[in-house]
Amino acid sequence: MRQVQVNLPGREYTILIGSGLARLPGAKAWNALVAGRRCLLVADSHVEKLYGPAFQEILAAAGAAAVTTAVFPAGEESKTLATFGELCREAARAGLDRKGLAVAVGGGVTGDLTGFLAASWMRGIDFIQVPTTLLAMVDSSVGGKTGVDLPEGKNLVGAFHQPRLVWCELDTLKTLPDREWRCGLAEIVKYGVILDAPLFARLEGHTLATLQAEPETVAEIVARCCEIKAQIVLADERETTGLRAVLNYGHTFGHALETCSGYGRFNHGEAVAIGMGMAADLAAVLGRCPAELPARQDALLRQLGLPVCAETTAEVTPETILELMFRDKKTAGGKLRLILPREIGTVEIMSVEDRGALLRAIGGRTHGNTGESRGADRP
Ligand SMILES: NC(=O)c1ccc[n+]([C@@H]2O[C@H](COP(=O)([O-])OP(=O)(O)OC[C@H]3O[C@@H](n4cnc5c(N)ncnc54)[C@H](O)[C@@H]3O)[C@@H](O)[C@H]2O)c1
Ligand SMILES: [Zn+2]
C-alpha cells in the first residue's frame, strides 16, 4: 500500500492508495474516523449499484452508529444546486449532527457534491473521499475544492473543505469504463506537462490497454499524481498565490467547451484534453513554447485514446468558447489568465488579451462536421 500525506497545518490527512485496503493496516485510520458516528454515504446511481452495499458493510463493520445511503442520478448533469439541496435534505432525514460524517464513494461529481455538503452541513462536518474513478483518484478527491455547476458555468458555487481521509481503492478501477479511464489519463498527462517531464515520458510508453494490464504501474502513477497535487495544495491551498492555478492547464478552454456543449457531449477529461491542445497551440502561436510541443502532446493524448479537437455545432463555435472563457471565474480585470506550456514539465501563467491569437488557437481545434465525431484529426 502507498500513502501520501497532505500536511496542511491542523488539517493533515492521508491518501491511501492500494487494493483491498479494508484488510490492510491503513484501514485503522478509516475505523478511527467512522466509529460511533452517523454516516451519510453518498454515491451516484451507477456506483451505488456496484459498491453501495459493500461500503455500507465496511462502514458498519468500522462501528458507524448508523449508515444512510443517499443516491443521485449519475453524471455531471447532477452536479447542481438541486442535487445539493436533495443531499442536504437526506442529511436532515438521516439525523446527521455536527459529529456526522459524509462519505463520498464515486467519481469527481460525487466528491465535489459531497464535499460541498460537508462544508455546508451544520457549517462544516468531516468527510471522507473514496474516489472510484481514475480522475477522482489523481485529482478531484485531493485538495478540498468542492462545489456545483450552474447553467452559466462550471463550479461557480462552492467552498474549500479538506477531507479527513482519501481512500483510493484501486480495485474499483476494474469496473471503470474505458472512456472514464481516458478521462483520468487526461489529468495525468496534465501533471506531466505542468510539472513532471519524466511522468510525461513514462506515459509515452503506454496505451490504455498496457496500463490496465499493469496495476503496479497505475498505483505508482496515482501515487505520483497525488504527491504533485498535495505539494501544490500545500503551497497554495486557496489558489491565492497563483501556484495552484497551474492545475487549471487546459481547463479554462475545457470548461468553456463543456459549458457550451451542455455538459453532456464531452466528459471532463475529454474537454480538458482538447483544452490542453488549445493552450499548447496558443503558446506556440505566441512563441512561448517549442513549435513541436503541441504535436508531441497530441501524439500522447491520441495514443491514450483522447480527443484533441472538437466538432463545431450551433452551440460549439470558437466565438462562444471565447466568450465563455471571459466569463470564467479565472478572468482578472477583463484579462484572461491562462496556463501555457513553456516546455514539457514547465508552464507559465500569462494574461492574454490578443483575441485574434485566442480565436486562432480555438478555431484550429474546432472543425465543421467532417463525418468524424470526437477527436477528428486536424487538417
Ligand atoms: N474538486 C476538484 O479539485 C476537481 C478536480 C478535477 C475535477 N473535478 C470534477 O470532477 C468531475 C469529473 O469527475 P469524474 O470524471 O470522476 O466524473 P463522475 O463522477 O461523473 O464519474 C464518471 C462516471 O463513472 C461512473 N463510475 C464511477 N466510478 C466507477 C467505477 N469504479 N466503476 C464503474 N463506473 C464508475 C460514474 O457513475 C459516472 O457515470 C467534474 O465535475 C469536475 O469538475 C473536481
Ligand atoms: Zn480537471
CATH of residue 302's domain is 1.20.1090.10
Residue that has been written with the C-alpha cell 481503492 in this structure: 169
Any atom of ligand 1 within 6 Å of the Cβ of 68: no
Each residue's pLDDT tens digit, 339-376 = 999 999 999 999 998 999 999 999 999 987 543 444 43
Q: Specify whether 243 is located in the same domain as 362.
A: yes
Each residue's pLDDT tens digit, 241-253 = 888 999 999 999 9
Taking CA atoms, 301 is separated from 44, 140, 268, 296, 375, in Å, by: 28, 20, 14, 9, 10
Each residue's pLDDT tens digit, 284-321 = 999 999 999 999 999 999 999 999 999 988 888 999 99
Q: Specify whether 91 is located in the same domain as 214.
A: no
Q: Which of 143, 175, 207 is the last residue of a domain?
A: 175
Q: Specify whether 283 is located in the same domain as 346.
A: yes
Kindly report the protein residue whose alpha carbon is nearest to atom 22 of ligand 1. Answer: 107
Nearest by Cα to 347 from 286, 281, 280: 280
Kindly report the protein residue whose alpha carbon is nearest to atom 10 of ligand 1. Answer: 108
Q: Specify whether 262 is located in the same domain as 305.
A: yes
Could you tell me what percentage of the chain is helix, strand and coil, using 3-state DSSP and rounding each to the nearest 5?
Answer: 50, 20, 30
Q: pTM, whole model, 2 decimals? A: 0.92
Q: Specify whether 100 is located in the same domain as 204.
A: no
In-domain check, residue 375: no
Banded pLDDT at 26 (limits 50, 70, 90):
low
Q: Specify whether 235 is located in the same domain as 146.
A: no
Any atom of ligand 1 within 6 Å of the Cβ of 143: yes
DSSP 206: -
Domain span at residue 150 reads 2-175
Any atom of ligand 1 within 6 Å of the Cβ of 142: no
**Distance of alpha carbon 283 from alpha carbon 358, whole angstroms:** 10
Around 102, how many Cα atoms within 13 Å sit in the side-chain half-sphere? 33
Any atom of ligand 1 within 6 Å of the Cβ of 48: no
Residue that has been written with the C-alpha cell 457534491 in this structure: 113
Kindly report the protein residue whose alpha carbon is nearest to atom 3 of ligand 1. Answer: 140
Measured in Å, residue 99 CA sits from the centre of ligand 2 at: 31
Taking CA atoms, 177 is separated from 35, 62, 76, in Å, by: 33, 30, 16
For strand 335-343 and strand 331-332, is the pairing parallel, antiparallel, or unpaired? antiparallel
Nearest by Cα to 14 from 23, 28, 68: 28
DSSP 247: G
Arithmetic mean of pLDDT over the chain: 92
Q: Of the listed 161, 224, 248, 311, which one is catalytic? A: 248
The reply to whether 155 belongs to the active site is: no
Q: Specify whether 279 is located in the same domain as 156.
A: no
